[in-house]
Homo-oligomer: A and B are copies of this chain.
């Protein structure tokens, strides 16, 4: 088939956007045809969207559909960032992709403070992906009975789940009975991939297994919004999801002065008033931080994580304390879905970004590489928090000086 006729057919509505791949013989060619169609349709020109390095035959269906090209987001690096994790140790240059000016520069400053202070301790506190299928049951009694059955037959259930995928392993289940609804929040270890798909596949298999045995239990949705995927929620904050990871650093007084131009006492105060009193007064759930979402979004965009997971990763608690003039700072991030393997991490620029960290692909010890990535993530989030709170505290100081200055005759 010729290109132009297909574009004509798109314009006339004879052919649908998604049908072009098959008709054009390749997604690479379909990508170009759809772009041409849009250029005609909207009377615009889309050269930069078209100028991508992507192989759309590889991308199509796996990462995107109805493709027309790529969005290009500026990528920079912050670092060196000294990380003292269980899995990640040493100095890292952290790739960040963003469209917001000053973010990378600010994070870079935070990295510099951390590194000069001997590095950030970073620890994975828990590592569990979850899926919570939702069953319609006749009522509380039956819901309780089924929840008990899953607990009693956990080994059988685990066998069903683990047969579905190579790396994802069922590790636990928390049931929630609510009227005629039974939510089974399954927990999985997932190796180096984020593994939502594997977890879903495993949950689906478990659901079928259950439905066969309990004719009165019927799957309503393989995700019952108690996983919780891509939505703000207390359950993830409390029970964790993906990587639960934390980082901390102790910054000597002289570095607070030299690099952040302020004092530990002032940073402690800004943290307390803004992050704790402010977020409490605003009715925030999990948003007790300065701007974790900024670093999460930039890190996720650069390294091929699911950008919708920024919603989860942005939940976190930042503390800053004046310890005899030195500054203790920490971040606690209970809900960070991450991967070094699969999905977006396989795309060319994203894979390269992970390679800068030496953390692309899967590891011999399943999960070790991804946990290293989580440790780096927590440390760079800490860098971002330090830099922003430092800037606020230091401006505060400047103002105070200016105001003193003004007062003089």
Contact = CB atoms under 8 A, between A and B. Distances in A.
A75 B65 contact: no
Interface in A176-228: 176-181, 183, 208, 211-212, 215, 218-226, 228
B293 A100 contact: no
Contacts of A395: 219, 222
B70 A18 contact: no
Contact of A74 (B250, B277, B283, B347): B347
A67 interface: yes
A131 interface: no
Contact of A99 (B18, B63, B104): B63
Interface stretch (A1-9, A158-166, A234-242, A363-371): A234-242
A378 B228 CA distance: 22
A284 B405 CA distance: 43
Contacts of A222: 392, 395
6 contacts: A70-B349, A71-B73, A181-B273, A232-B284, A283-B283, A307-B310
Nearest to A141: B121
A71 B358 contact: no
Given A234-B283, A279-B225, A279-B231, A99 B64 contact: yes
A167 interface: no
A287 interface: yes
A286 B178 CA distance: 13
Interface in A48-101: 48-49, 51-54, 56, 59, 61-79, 93, 95-101
B77 A66 contact: yes
Contact of A233 (B70, B77, B284): B284
A283 B179 CA distance: 16
A258 interface: no
A387 interface: no
A288 interface: yes
Contact of A231 (B68, B78, B139, B287): B287
Interface residues of A, number: 160
Interface in A261-301: 269-270, 272-294, 296-298, 300-301
Residue of A67, A178, A237, A292 with most chain B CB atoms under a 10 A cut-off: A178
B65 A238 contact: no
A144 B294 CA distance: 27
A116 interface: no
Contacts of A121: 139-141
A119 interface: no
Contacts of A250: 139
A378 to B, nearest CB: 10
A45 B344 CA distance: 19
Nearest to A52: B72
B71 A77 contact: no
Contact of A64 (B75, B228, B400): B75
A380 interface: no
B105 A18 contact: yes
A253 to B, nearest CB: 18
A326 interface: no
Given A38-B93, A276-B280, A101 B63 contact: yes
A80 B225 CA distance: 29
A108 interface: yes
B93 A41 contact: yes
A22 interface: no
A51 B53 contact: yes
B65 A314 contact: no
A403 to B, nearest CB: 6
Given A232-B315, A347-B99, A399-B211, A77 B281 contact: no
Task: Determine which residue in A282, A293, A350, A400 has the highest number of CB atoms from chain B within 10 A of its CB, and name it.
Answer: A282
A125 interface: yes
